[in-house]
Amino acid sequence: MSFKKGIFIDTSITSEISKYHQMGFIRGVTTNPTIMAKDGLKGGYEEIKNRTKEISDLVMPYPVSVELLTNEVSQMFDQAKDLAQINKNIVIKVTIHGPNGELDNLKLIKELEENKIPVNATAMMNSQQSLIAAMSGASYVSIFCGRVNNMGYDSREEVKKTRILLDKFNLKANIIACSLREVINVTDWFISGADIVTIPPEFFESLIIHPYSKETIKMFLSDSFKLMN
């Protein structure tokens, strides 16, 4: 649905999510174990579930992506089902393959989607991986565009190619561009064809506040004062 496209906030800190969600432009939340660890979350699996419930309640009906905490094939499906039961707007993050290139994750993506559990296929670096994940049924495909740029490639081209391929095969997946490095990435990735861009909270002020806007607003207020006095 189009209202679930746009800017997603990339954090697990509820106060930050609430602050920007109240401004009206947030369309979803993404988290992963690295974000949660950086944000200082402690307490193990149950605390992860509790925080996920808080976040998903806060932004309902917008989607909240939460990542599996294991790549053990025997545990992944049950953990995904358990996390998905937290709230109806939960999306399960599944990496495109295992840490050593294991291919079981694609089967899991297919099985979860067949069981009406939406999947965000993640940790992808190119359009080939995105196409495969989308063909396996993933509702979202996350390209780590910042890392693509770090490797010396142009992430905009990977997003463009992914857009063309998903449209060509009429696949349902939404393209998520993530791993933001510079504010200019946001509009570049949207223009290149991304449905969603994930943004850490520390980038929002730079997106919104411009020095010349500040100068202009000060001029307006100064002139308003002159008119009123």
Provide the annotated active-site residues.
93
Q: Spell out where the chain has E strands.
A: 6-10, 26-30, 64-67, 90-95, 119-124, 140-144, 174-178, 196-199
Chain-centre distance for alpha carbon 40: 20
Angle between helical axes of 14-21 and 44-59 (0-180°, round to 10)? 10
Separation between Cα atoms, residue 128 and residue 135, nearest integer Å = 11
Neighbours of 98 (CB within 10 A): 14
Separation between Cα atoms, residue 163 and residue 127, nearest integer Å = 9
Separation between Cα atoms, residue 179 and residue 161, nearest integer Å = 18
DSSP 22: T
